[in-house]
Structure formats: C-alpha cells, structure tokens
Amino acid sequence: MEKDADGFYTPAAAAPAAPTDETKEKEPVKEVEKGGEKEGEGEQDPETDLIQSTFDVEVTLADQQADPNSPLFSVKTFEELGLHPDLLKGVYAMGFSKPSKIQERALPLLLADPPQNLIGQSQSGTGKTAAFVLTMLTRVDFSKNKTQALCLAPSRELARQIMSVVVAMGRFTSVQTEYAIKDHLPKGASRITAHVVVGTPGTMTDLIRRRVLDVSEVKVFVLDEADNMLDSDGLGEQTLRVKNMLPRSHPVQIVLFSATFPDHVRSFANNFAPKANKIELQKNEISVDNIRQFYLDCKSEEHKYEVLVSIYTLLTIGQSIIFCQHRHTADRISQRMSAEGHKVASLHGAKDASERDAIIDRFREGREKVLITTNVIARGIDIMQVNMVVNYDLPLLNERDNWGNKDDAHPDIETYIHRIGRTGRFGRKGISVNFVHDKRTWEQMQEIEKATGKHIVRVETDDMDAMEETLKKHLK
Ligand SMILES: Nc1ncnc2c1ncn2[C@@H]1O[C@H](COP(=O)(O)OP(=O)(O)OP(=O)(O)O)[C@@H](O)[C@H]1O
C-alpha cells in the first residue's frame, strides 16, 4: 500500500496477491507488547527517508506477528475473518499480510449477523482503525445512495486520517465518502448521500440537525477514541446528541474502540453500547514495552527549555512531537526555537482549519520534523516515522487556572498513554521523554509511573554527554 504526498493511504496501481508466508502458531494469546519495526516501509512516500530500511523492518514485523506474546500476533489469516473479497484486496493493497490480535479477535464479532455492539480495547498502534473501517465497509450496501455508516473522532486530524483508511481499504468497492468536519463542506451544500461519513461530533450534529445529513438508514455508528468521545468532561454530550438522532426503526450497530477505558467512562460506555461484546485489556497491559520512557530532571522552567534545545542539537531524531499543556506554551517554544534556527512547526486548536490541515500534512510528509502541539493530536494520529515523543509539560487534569485558584492538579494518565503512543506504532521502537522541573512535577511523574506500571528512567541533565549517550542508544 502506498501513502500519498500527505502520508495518507492512496490506492496502489494494483492489489498485490495475498502474501504466502502466513505464520500459524496456535499458542495461547497473552497481550504484551514487544519491540520491533513495521513492515512495508519501502512503499511509503518516496520523498521521505523511510524508504531506506525496507528489508530489515519487514523481517522484524514478521517475527513479532509470529510471537504469541505480541499484540500484533494472530493465529488467523485475513481470509479466515470473513471479509468480502473486494475488502480483502483492499487490505492486501495496504501491505497488511496478517491481522493483528485486535483485528483477529474483533472482526469475527463485528461482522457476525445479526450485528452486535462491540467495546474494543487494544494498545495504541495495534490496528484498531482497520477493524472498524472494515466493519463499516462490510455493512454498507453500495447500491443505495444513502449514508449507512457514521464514524466520530475527537479531532479533525484524526477524522482525516481515518478517512484515508476508509478510502484505501474501500478502493476496490464503490464506496462514497464525506467529511463532517468544520469548514470542509462548501457553504450551502444541501445534501450528503455518501455511504460513509467521518467527522467530529459538533459538525456531525450540525449537519444532521440541518438535514444536510440524513441518518435514517445508518446501520453502524463507530466512536474512535471512545473513552474521550464519551467522557462528560470531554465530548460526551455532543456524542450523545448524535446518537439520539439515529433511527429507532432498526437496530444500529454501535462500535467503540480505544486504547484506554478508564473506570469512570466504562459504565457510560456500557449504556451507550448495550449488550456489547467486549475485548478488554488488563490494567498492566495498556502501556506498551516498545516505547522506552525517560525523564529529564530539570532545575526550572527555563532550564527545561535549554535542555529541550540541547536534545535537538545533540541528537539526530527522525521525527518528534513535543506536547505542551497550553497553546501559548506551544507557540512560545516554537517561536523561540525557530528564532534560534531550529525548524519546527506548531499545531493547536486555535489555528484555523486550513492551517491545521496544512501543518499536519507537512509533518506527515516529513517536511517538518518537529511538531510542537497540545493534546489536540494526543490521540490516534499515526505517523510511523515519529520515534520520539516529548512531554514538555506532563498532561494534567484539574489544572490551576491563571489566578492559581485550583490546586488539585493530577496527572492525566489516559492522555499520557495516548501521547506516548504517537511513537512505537505497530511494533516499532520509540522513546518518550518527560520533563520534570520541581517537586510537584516529579510527584506527578511518579504517579504516572505507578499507574502505568512501567519504569521511567532518569536521565542526567547536567552531564550532556551522558544524556546524549542514553537517549541515542534507544533512538537507534
Ligand atoms: N494487520 C496489519 N499489518 C500491518 N500493519 C498494520 C496492520 N493493521 C494496522 N497496521 C498499521 O499499524 C499502524 C497503527 O494502526 P492504527 O492507527 O489503526 O492503530 P490504533 O490501534 O488505532 O492506535 P491508536 O490507539 O493510537 O489510535 C497503521 O500504520 C496501520 O496501517
């Protein structure tokens, strides 16, 4: 499968035949991640440096997919999962040779008739998108010009990425697609008849309300990043509004996927998707081992900035994402780094739609190597060449406001897991680097360590050579 200049999946010239080297071990399934790399890199955007390591990475992925302890492992082939031949061709054209564990387990449940709801959990970067995209494409009757599948995601960037997978997997079908994201449809557009509509909840609600989008024939409703989409502090209300507008004349299959389902969302998820089949991870399985986690002990906010800059001066990093808690921090760091000659871009929710699209597309293409951002792209974004995630600010809940009124800030564990999951995609290796600069942030980091059950290794910041050596070793 090829990705276009924007790094999105595009149809290749011809669908390759099914791979022949399927591995069929029957060992029991235990979901723990192992390190490794992703296959098919040689088919990526020819303008990026990804192309260099084609042979090695394919071998490593095959190893992982044959390892029963890996979430990439499965005993089945895509043929055995009950996919329509046109979709099977789409899957192989993307360069997928074997299902991952979540695909193997979820697809038979998702495709069964009569349709059943599903709540599916699997670690970041393990292929949940393909599972729900194949479900939507299986449920659509392409002979009808009616919207039959809706998918909601928390950001326009993720909605656009999901759509690229719908188009790629559906390239041998006659699927028609449309976005429900801000500023996408031309003003005055009167009717959407696309089979599959992907978007964000606010715009989706608006289109349904204005009767631009007719949902009377919708059969499947997918929430990606479902815990975030259902959280009452997040998008819960808007998502519920969309659900309440769906038809009651026939059952609608509800499909929820995420890498995280915190307890406070689980019961709401159970009500939202009643009688759902469930695929759940144990708490200690959620965060992956192929992402090595570090923390940098800094002396002050200003020292954080100095250390950040020295990382980029000392190390050769493929691509990286720097997460800040606030938009103004992202802008400030990006301005300072740019002024000092570093090539960086910043992306956050205050930028307008077309600017956001252009920035993420440039980053996908590899034209920007460093993206400074907020939680807006903490979830779902899949850019395989990202090998480092920096938590310049740890993700927090209940933060202090500008007047310092709230004082019960605590780490946002779910967001942390999603942020670091922007690296280490589909078995690749990656590092995450957390900045700690006082007792409070150190305690927050400890809390994260405890909650995720994964050791976060201290890295010296007053010995630059040692810092370089430690990080370099794991960036290889
Ligand atoms: N069976 C497969 N074989 C090879 N590559 C795959 C397979 N399934 C998915 N991938 C690739 O793995 C990467 C991660 O997949 P995806 O984005 O669906 O992960 P995810 O589980 O949704 O992650 P997140 O929780 O971060 O949203 C993508 O680049 C995708 O193309």
Which two tokens mark 330?
């992202």
Helix (H, G, I), strand (E, B) or coil at 445: helix
The residues spanned by each domain of the chain are: 21-285, 291-475
Q: What is the predicted pLDDT for the residue at 218? A: 98
Strand (E) or helix (H) holding 338: helix 327-339
Q: What is the predicted pLDDT for the residue at 2? A: 52
CA of 426 to the centre of ligand 1 (A): 6
Which atom, in ligand 1's list, is nearest to the CA of 61? Answer: 4
Q: For residue 14, is pLDDT > 90?
A: no
Average pLDDT for 341-360? 95
> What average pLDDT does the chain have?
85
Average pLDDT for 443-454? 94
**Exposed, middle or buried by CB within 10 Å (0-12, 13-18, 19+), for 18?**
middle
Query: For 21-285, which CATH superfamily applies?
Result: P-loop containing nucleotide triphosphate hydrolases (3.40.50.300)
CA of 427 to the centre of ligand 1 (A): 10
Per the model's pLDDT, the better-predicted residue between 50 and 406 turns out to be 406
CA-closest residue to ligand 1 atom 1: 99
Q: What is the predicted pLDDT for the residue at 113? A: 93
CA-closest residue to ligand 1 atom 25: 124
Query: For 291-475, which CATH superfamily applies?
Result: P-loop containing nucleotide triphosphate hydrolases (3.40.50.300)
CA distance 11 to 173: 12
SS3 content of the chain, % helix, strand, coil (to 5): 40, 15, 45
Lowest mean pLDDT, pick from 12-21, 149-158, 277-286, 372-381: 12-21
pLDDT confidence band for 70 (50 / 70 / 90): confident
Average pLDDT for 137-158? 97
Average pLDDT for 36-44? 30
Q: What is the predicted pLDDT for the residue at 399? A: 67
CA of 192 to the centre of ligand 1 (A): 29
Lowest mean pLDDT, pick from 71-75, 107-111, 136-140, 380-384: 71-75
Site to probe by mutation for ligand 1, drawn from 22, 126, 285 as the one with most ligand atoms within 8 Å of Cβ, is: 126
**Is the entire prediction scored with pTM above 0.90?**
no
Q: What is the predicted pLDDT for the residue at 69? A: 75
CB of 428 sitting under 6 A from ligand 1 = no
Q: For residue 74, is pLDDT > 80?
A: no
Site to probe by mutation for ligand 1, drawn from 124, 279, 382 as the one with most ligand atoms within 8 Å of Cβ, is: 382
CA of 468 to the centre of ligand 1 (A): 31
Which atom, in ligand 1's list, is nearest to the CA of 422? Answer: 26
291-475 shares the fold of 21-285: yes
pLDDT confidence band for 317 (50 / 70 / 90): confident
Q: What is the predicted pLDDT for the residue at 30? A: 27
Instruction: Note the pLDDT tens digit of each residue in 375-430.
Output: 999 999 999 999 999 999 999 997 655 555 556 789 999 999 999 999 999 999 99
CA distance 305 to 437: 11
pLDDT confidence band for 11 (50 / 70 / 90): very low
CA distance 32 to 71: 6
pLDDT confidence band for 116 (50 / 70 / 90): very high
Q: What is the predicted pLDDT for the residue at 29? A: 26
Q: What is the predicted pLDDT for the residue at 229? A: 96
Per the model's pLDDT, the better-predicted residue between 10 and 370 turns out to be 370
Question: CB of 34 within 8 A of CB of 290?
Answer: yes
Distances (CA, A) of 397 to 33, 228, 293, 410, 413: 28, 13, 21, 5, 9
Q: What is the ipTM of this complex?
A: 0.99
Instruction: Note the pLDDT tens digit of each residue in 212-232.
Output: 999 999 999 999 999 999 998
